[in-house]
Amino acid sequence: MDFTGPIVSDGSDGVISFESCTFDKYSDYALKINSGNVLLSQCDFKQPAGHVILGANTNTLQSVNSGNKRKLDVKNNSKSAKVEIVTGNEYVFESIPKNIKTDIGKHPRPASNKVIKANLAKATGFNNNAPTQDVSAELQAALNAVKTAGGGTLYLPGGRYLVNSPVKIPSGVELRGTWDVQHHTQSGGSAIFTTYAGGAAGEKGASLIQLEENAGIRGINIVQLNLVSDGFSAQNPRTAPFLIQGQGKNVYIVNVTVPLGDKGIDLASYNTGGHYVDYFAGVLVRAGIWVGGGAEGGFIRNMQFNPHYGSRLPEGGQGYPNVSMTRFVQSNCSALKFADVKNQTIFNNFVYGSIYGIHFLKDAITGKNPGQMTVIGHGSDGCTFSLFVEDADKNTKIVAINSELVNTQITSQPVRSYVLMGDKVKTDKVHPDAQLILYNSAFWGSPIIGAIINNGTVRIQQGNYTRSGAPGIDNRGGKAHVYTTYFAQPMTGEGRATRDISEAVAAGDNVYAKLHAAGISTELTNNYYTSGLKDKKEGAGKIYGSDVVSGKK
């Protein structure tokens, strides 16, 4: 980040950190730290002097490779501040990427401006009536007619429509409901209801809504009526195929809400390069959005999965099932999966309740691993593993910026962690050179262990560990680099009991960083530890970095 003018901090006992920032056009001092603690990593001050002034109540200033040509000018008016200034090429790291593209250059639209209104049987009104007349054939005929006319929009007016057989949206055609914005279940509008569950093929059957190349769906609700009926329940919901499937490039799904469904969007069975998903929301009990098939240049944006979409209904109920799926979702859902994709942008998405909030793995069809992709503003809350890299090769590079990774105390899950890199120690499913890079991440909730690294390389820069887990960084078989990170939870290095006795922490695990015998190395540079650096090393690997050199224990 670039700062023009002075910055004043009254942080009390908190921590303010700056990484890869530039400071310019300040009159006396760029940073006026009146109290608290400050971390500077690889920051550039454009003027040769007047960089930092420490007030009387400042506790700590830590700097690595910061200043004007790495020379940091500090005026210390504090009573007893600890000032630590470190320089050296061994501490140089890769800065946060700049000029990241978060939206598509040209938004998708149908092949023409033609709009045809569909006049189909439906249920309407502020009552609890679900639709009873299946309009699948009529809907397909209307979509085909739009295609024959040269493409365009088939408009589905407000109401509830029963669609019990799969329909295909042809290339150049958009199926559009009443919504031009993101929306909640309780707002009603145009909705497709279905009891379709894949026919004889079950969950391996065809998807209800199929999108040909350059086809889209926008502004509508889709709900499965029979997920928890006819012998099925919230504890054992019916299985079904994905509700929506992309079958070609440049498909799009915008402003679509699923109040209740088994599986959401399949972008993995075909190459859907250039796909665009924006403001997709709802309750998906087993699968949210799965992407793969060699797709390149796709966007998944502004998605929100939360169980309350299934229980906050429109006025009168309007035929929607009223059911809470929170417990099942937390134990069975894999919300976001990314397999064989390249240059994928994943922006501003949120998942509440899932085993894996966001999951990266080998493609079931192409057999290839994830490529390079950027994740910005992702939130995983109430998850067992908030971010899981299961498969990755030497070309995998996942960059996550401004993530919120949260674990909830789920008693049925014996292990919970913010980050899981590899499914077991030294797994050959993750290449040692595979990279997961986390910039500006918030970690909080009820983890058992903070980050588990079984192979590959994980880099955490400017993390905020409200709860560290035990250990905070558990390096079992790879490489870890931790920079400019705040560990707020006190640690003793000894065993302890937690609120749940089943989560008792063994002696030697109650540390910020643990390097197991199979772990290669852990770097700890310019971090702040509330109770001083507590670490544990086993075997021949090494724990190193400016924090180890300076003896912060």
Residues 152/143, Cβ–Cβ less than 8 Å: no
Residues 209/229, Cβ–Cβ less than 8 Å: no
Chain centroid offset of residue 226 CA: 30
Sign of dihedral through CA atoms 95, 527, 405, 14? negative
Residues 256/218, Cβ–Cβ less than 8 Å: yes
Chain segment 402-439, per-residue pLDDT in tens = 999 999 888 778 899 999 999 999 999 999 999 999 99
Give the Cα separation of 392 and 372 in Å (integer): 10
Residues 185/314, Cβ–Cβ less than 8 Å: yes
* Buried/exposed code over 157-168 (b: 16+ C-beta within 10 A; e: otherwise): eebbbbbbebbb
Give the predicted TM-score (pTM) of the model: 0.93
Least confident range of 73-77, 213-217, 474-478 = 73-77
Residue 503: both structure tokens together: 């989560």
The mean pLDDT value for 273-294 works out to 97
Q: With 70 as the cut, is the pLDDT of residue 461 above it?
A: yes
pLDDT of residue 503: 58
The mean pLDDT value for 455-478 works out to 96
Residues 5/26, Cβ–Cβ less than 8 Å: yes
If we measure between CA atoms, which residue out of 308, 334, 455 comes closest to residue 391?
455
Chain segment 189-209, per-residue pLDDT in tens = 999 999 999 999 999 999 999
Give the Cα separation of 253 and 215 in Å (integer): 9
Q: With 80 as the cut, is the pLDDT of residue 378 above it?
A: yes
Give the Cα separation of 56 and 111 in Å (integer): 66
Chain segment 301-329, per-residue pLDDT in tens = 999 999 999 999 999 999 999 998 998 99
Q: Are strands 442-445 and 404-407 parallel, antiparallel or unpaired?
A: parallel
pLDDT of residue 498: 56
Residue 223: both structure tokens together: 């709900």
Give the Cα separation of 169 and 431 in Å (integer): 40
The mean pLDDT value for 372-395 works out to 96
Q: With 50 as the cut, is the pLDDT of residue 512 above it?
A: yes
Percent of the chain at pLDDT exceeding 70:
98
Residue 352: both structure tokens together: 């509440």
Query: How much is the mean pLDDT over the chain?
Result: 94
pLDDT of residue 501: 44
Give the Cα separation of 362 and 377 in Å (integer): 24
Least confident range of 71-85, 248-262, 276-290, 389-403 = 71-85
Q: With 60 as the cut, is the pLDDT of residue 13 above it?
A: yes
**Distance of CA 3 to CAs 9, 19, 25, 176, 225, Å?**
14, 12, 9, 44, 53
The mean pLDDT value for 509-526 works out to 96
Give the Cα separation of 345 and 348 in Å (integer): 10
If we measure between CA atoms, which residue out of 340, 374, 338, 376 comes closest to residue 356?
338
Percent of the chain at pLDDT exceeding 90:
87
Give the Cα separation of 342 and 358 in Å (integer): 16
pLDDT band for position 496 (cuts 50, 70, 90): low
Q: Are strands 52-64 and 152-155 parallel, antiparallel or unpaired?
A: unpaired
pLDDT band for position 467 (cuts 50, 70, 90): very high
pLDDT of residue 541: 95
The mean pLDDT value for 222-243 works out to 95
